[in-house]
Amino acid sequence: MRRLVVSLIAAVVAVSLVPIASAQEEEDEITLRVGLTQDWEVLNPTSGYTVAAYEVWNLHYATLTDKAADDFATVPGLAESWEEVEPGIEYVYTLREGLTWSDGEPLTAEDVAWNINTGRDQGWDNMVSTVGNIEATVIDERTVQLVSSVPDPKLPTMDVYLVPQHIWEPVATDYDTATQYAADDGVGSGPFVITEFTPGQSVVMAANPNYWGWEGEEPPYDQVIFRLFENPDAMVAALQQGELDAAQGFPASSWDALEADADIEVVAGQQGGFDEIAINGGAAEGQPHPALLDLEVRRAISHAIDRPAVIEDLWFGLASPLETISPSADPKWIPEIPEENQFTYDPERANQILDEAGYMDTDGDGIREMPDGTNPIVIRHAVNTDGDLAGSIGDLMVGWMGEIGIGVELEAYDQDALFGVIVDGTYDTFYWGWVPFVDPDPMLSYFTEAEIGNYNDANWFDPEYDALYTEQNQEVDPDRRLEIVHEMLTMFHAAAVYIPMYIAPDLQAYRTDTFEGWVKQPADIGPVMFSNSSPSYAQLTPIGADAGGSDINWLLWGGIAAVVVILAGVFVARRSKSTSDERE
Amino acid sequence: MTSIAMQRRRATVSRVWAQFRSSRQGMIGLAVLLVFVAVALAAPLLADVRELNPVYARAQGNPQWGPPSVFPPLGTDYIRRSVWAQFVWGSRVSLFVGLAATVLTILIGSVVGIVAGFVGGKVDAVLMRVTEWFLVIPFLPLAIVLASVLGRNVWNIIFVIGITSWPSTARLVRAQVLTVKQRLFVDRARSLGAGGGHIVAHHILPNVSGLILANATLAVPISILTETTLSFLGLGDPTAASWGKTLEEAFVNGAMARNAWWYFLPAGLGILAVVLAFTLIGRTLEEIANPRLSRSR
């Protein structure tokens, strides 16, 4: 019993202390508090990989060209203008006047050229696909020329994060030193810069007075704190109680409760993120069950997966159907798949396909065998234990495959281990997801032969697809490029190695009584944060900063009163116990 | 074995049983345990195993998050599966893992304890340092690390629990072996020419078996709780529908926020009841094996 009382007191003290702390905070500075559920892992912009880290970089590093909030169009960033000398080949950018880093050092064309040339030569992971063919030359302090050795449809967009040369040049002597640098210098060029990083807990970012976007005015608020929550329910509760101003990545099951809250706005942000069930295509060293190498079997499996049920039960209707992969945050790149070729949920048809292909259950145990009557079709489904829905999908997979006479063995791996298993090819199916960039090129590259053993998690390739990939990579006519991409994705869909489950929204919520000015990217359907360039933060303004002071006092005094009452109660209880002992 | 020894052993068993029967806490524990063993054994009769299959549950038209009033007896979970079926089939996994891990714990602990106590000298010193090494390592972090390195299936979980919880058994058994070893009958057996193996099997083991049995009964609830903890932390076997897995899924899918008490309460109470039953039985056996415990009350 004592432990309970002590924790009660501790809880009361904690509750009453939190408002005191935030009250002091509010006197000095205005803070935007954002909750999230994914750890940052690595904050080095050349090698980090989490969505959480990209969000921090979006605030910390400005880019040469920016992306419009409405439609991702390429708009001026650090460069105020550019001139097209030869389409897809040569561009000359002019920087804004008087740019400086957050530490006051000037930001010049020298910085831009050093980033592009060094990133290309040292092969920085997150830069090489953008600058691999580009040579940057300084013309004067505010002018830089970019020349691509092959036609590049992505130019003039240049959206890689530019790091401060005066800090990085002594550190980044080769690939290893550059990608393993802690990047804890706190010098940036974006609206907010990192002041404190506590791995597994929080990132604190202070407003950068030198950011060009403030246009000489004071930043509207002082800092952003990202707080990591292990448990999404705790994050939802913190948002409801006003301990957070915004929360990203909450579970679909909390949607209704948050939507009903008058002070909270919920957003199901669409930016092309999707989940898939991948079937081992057999290109890695480890081989799948031989039946999976038959297109007919893969088609049958595709028809047996009940995607509408997952959207209804696990997403409460918030996700939208998807037939082939979504390679970009812009939905125009997704081709229309004719209805007769779609993999609609139809277990009867799936059974029929398997029967016709000769995969019969010859020994009557409910599991089909290969056409020669041997080798029962039992597949290994890898469950990613770090994924929120992976466990449920694993259970569903057993059920779906059971309907068509295919056995399933579930094997559990954490994120890292699963990556290794995919590279080795020692699996039959798994469930995972992607969030693509704006340009479809990276996502398309993942299914080429060159990416086997790296990002190609279908372990499938087709020389014809590879040829089309190279073609679109150098096609500067946007309409022709769109056509090629549609052809590639239709081809990839027909191979039935990668069954897209749905476009998964990023579920976000923000309080409407603390900050205003949230911006969706892209317009109407996109998320308000954790998007491709996260434009919200620089445009938010706080609402009525000093409201609620008296409430805090009431809470404080109420808390103290409660502690006194409880202590008195404990004291009285102790006394009566000791007197009864004495009386005995 | 001589008939005298047989008779004596049979007498011991019936004396222990008589003492056990006279203990109310022991009988309550035994009754509760028998109920759960019966549930586990009769699982196919009590609940259709297909109710664990979310595709079947959906095809049956089960409600999602259905409370017991809508879907008796215990409602449904977030993917429409019957909670009753999960409870019934989960009892099998939880009991099996608990018992199997205990067997492993007791086996390792007894062998190490007997060898260390009986052989003594350098062997004892080395074995006890190893035991202490395992004792000082915080148990849960070690179990978590092992479970994530080895991979998640039932046998690995059993192995992890066994390998992390044997040291206290080893120390207890060693202490008992040290006192038994000093008794006169051991010296007599030795002077009659008995070898080490014979002495351990016929004189030491019968005298420490009561302690081992009591210790085993007390190790079961720890094993069950460990399995639950590992499953709750997401380190359990994803294919085994244990009570721990039910709790983990309820937690992860927001049952608390939804007040879906019917989802997590049965598994939680099931664990509580089984752990309590084994503890009551273990205490009673311990008191019988070591009468000083009961006298001091």
pLDDT of residue A546: 45
Which CATH number describes the domain made up of B18-42+68-76+87-295? 1.10.3720.10
| pLDDT of res. B276 | 92
Confidence band for A554, pLDDT divided at 50, 70 and 90: low
Q: Looking at chain B, which residue has its C-alpha nearest residue A252?
A: B253
pLDDT at A581: 43
Name which residue leads in pLDDT, A177 or A386. A177
Rounded Cα–Cα distance for residues A13 and A15 (Å): 5
Domain identity same for A333 and A477: yes
Overall average pLDDT of the A343-350 stretch: 94
Q: What is the mean pLDDT of residues A329-351?
A: 92
Show which residues on chain B lie within 8 Å of chain A, measured between beta carbons.
53-56, 58, 64, 78-80, 148, 151-153, 234, 237-239, 249, 252-254, 256-258
In the structure encoding, which two tokens stand for residue A451, read together? 């990416």
In a domain, A279, yes or no: yes
- Which chain A residue is nearest to residue B64, measuring alpha carbons? A313
Same domain for A161 and A297, yes or no, is: no
Asked if A297 and A388 sit in the same domain, the reply is yes
Bigger pLDDT: A158 vs B206: A158
Q: Report the phi/psi class of residue A206: left, alpha or beta, with left for phi > 0 and alpha for psi in -120 to 50.
A: beta
Assess whether A289 and A218 both reside in one domain. Answer: no
Q: Is A39 exposed, middle or buried (0-12, 13-18, 19+ CB in 10 A)?
A: middle
Q: A495 with A547, same domain?
A: no
| Over residues B192-216, mean pLDDT | 86
Residue type, A202: S
CATH of the domain at A527: 3.40.190.10
Summarised one tens digit per residue, pLDDT across range B219-276 is 888 888 888 888 887 777 777 788 988 988 888 887 887 888 999 999 999 999 999 9
pLDDT of A69 > 50? The answer is: yes
Q: What is the pLDDT of residues A475-514, one digit of tens each?
A: 889 899 999 999 999 999 999 999 999 998 999 999 999 9
Looking at chain B, the whole-number percentage of residues with pLDDT higher than 70 is 97
Tell which residue, A297, A268, A265, has the closest CA to residue A281.
A297
User: What own/partner pairs with CB < 8 Å and gap ≥ 24 does A171-178 have?
Assistant: A172/A118, A172/A122, A174/A122, A175/A122, A175/A123, A175/A124, A178/A46, A178/A118, A178/A122, A178/A124
- For chain B, say whether A561 makes contact (Cβ under 8 Å): no
**pLDDT, tens only, B56-75:** 988 888 998 899 988 888 99
User: Are A236 and B257 a contacting pair at CB < 8 A?
Assistant: yes
Tell me, what's the pLDDT at B163? 87
Query: What is the CATH classification number for the domain harbouring A295?
Result: 3.10.105.10
CB contact under 8 A, A254 and B234: no
Interface test with B, best of A307, A316, A378, A410 (most B CBs within 10 A): A410
Query: A450-489: string of b/e by CB count within 10 Å (b at 16+)?
Result: eebeebbbbbbbbeebbebbeebbebeeeeebbebbbbbb
Q: Are residues A345 and A486 in the same domain?
A: yes
Cβ <8 Å between A313 and B256: no
Q: How confident is the model at residue A305 (pLDDT cuts 50, 70, 90)?
A: very high
**Res. A23: pLDDT tops 90:** no
Interface test with B, best of A385, A400, A408 (most B CBs within 10 A): A385
What residues does B68 pair with on adjacent strands? none
For A401, nearest residue in chain B (alpha carbons): B55
Distances (CA, A) of A80 to A63, A83, A216, B70: 11, 11, 16, 64
Q: Greater confidence, A446 or B297?
A: A446
DSSP structural state of residue B134: H
CA angle in degrees (0–180, nearest 5) for A235-A238-A239: 90
How is residue A271 written in tokens? Answer: 């930016």
Residue A48 confidence (pLDDT): 83
- List the beta strands (DSSP E) in A104-191: 134-140, 143-148
State whether residue A397 sits within 8 Å of chain B by CB: no
pLDDT at B6: 80
A309 with A419, same domain? Answer: yes
Least confident range from A326-340, B1-15, B256-270: namely B1-15
**A233 at the B interface (CB within 8 A)?**
yes
DSSP letters for A492-522: HHHTTSEEEEEEPPEEEEEETTTEE----SS
Q: Is residue A159 part of a domain?
A: yes
A241 and A119 part of one domain: no
Least confident of A393-407, A517-531, A568-582, B125-139: A568-582
Chain B touched by A396 (CB under 8 Å): yes
CB count within 10 Å of CB A104 equals: 9
Task: Let me know if residue A574 belongs to a domain.
Answer: no
More reliable by pLDDT, A577 or A404? A404
Q: What share of chain B is helix, strand, coil (3-state, %, to 5)?
A: 80, 0, 20
- Domain range holding A99? 65-178
Q: Are residues A128 and A213 in the same domain?
A: no
Reported ipTM: the value is 0.73
pLDDT for residue B4 is more than 60: yes
pLDDT tens profile A347-360: 999 999 999 999 99
pLDDT value for B196: 85
Q: Is A412's CB within 8 Å of B54's CB?
A: no
Can you give the residue ranges of every domain in chain B? 18-42+68-76+87-295
Q: Is the pLDDT of residue A559 over 70?
A: no
In a domain, A582, yes or no: no
What residues does A226 pair with on adjacent strands?
A: A34, A203
Among A178, A202, A237, give the residue marking a domain's end.
Answer: A178
Residue A548 has pLDDT above 50, yes or no: no
pLDDT for residue B152: 73
Spell out the residues 6+ positions from residue A549 whose beta carbon is closer than 8 angstroms to its own. Answer: A23
Q: What is the domain count for chain A?
A: 3
Determine, for residues A395 and B79 on separate chains, whether the beta-carbon distance falls below 8 Å.
yes
Predicted TM-score (pTM) of this structure: 0.75
- Are A306 and B55 a contacting pair at CB < 8 A? yes
3-state secondary structure of A178: helix
Question: How many Cβ pairs within 8 Å bridge chains A and B?
Answer: 68
Choose among B54, B153, B238: nearest Cβ to A396: B54
Q: What is the pLDDT of residue A574?
A: 53
